[in-house]
Amino acid sequence: MNRFKERLRELREELGLMQGQLAEALNIPRATYSNWEQGRREPDIDGLVMLVNYFKVSAGYLIGTED
């Protein structure tokens, strides 16, 4: 099971944001964010750092290796 895509969606929904809104806040294409959340693609290290900083969570939490 891909915890990354699940946690990414949970974190976005906790903030009450649509995918497009979050993509805009991160300054990335909506399709890129959507691919991450759907599990079709994974972010590179820069994208992962951007998400960690935005959501203020650890990389381990985001990828599902820690709670």
CA 54 to chain centre: 9
Hey, what domains does the chain have and what are their CATH numbers? Answer: 3-63 (1.10.260.40)
pLDDT bracket for residue 2 (50, 70, 90): confident
Secondary structure of 2-31 in the HEC alphabet?
Answer: CHHHHHHHHHHHHCCCCHHHHHHHHCCCHH
Q: What is the value of pTM for the model shown? A: 0.91
Q: 21-63: per-residue pLDDT in tens?
A: 999 999 999 999 999 999 999 999 999 999 999 999 999 999 9
Give the pLDDT of residue 1: 52
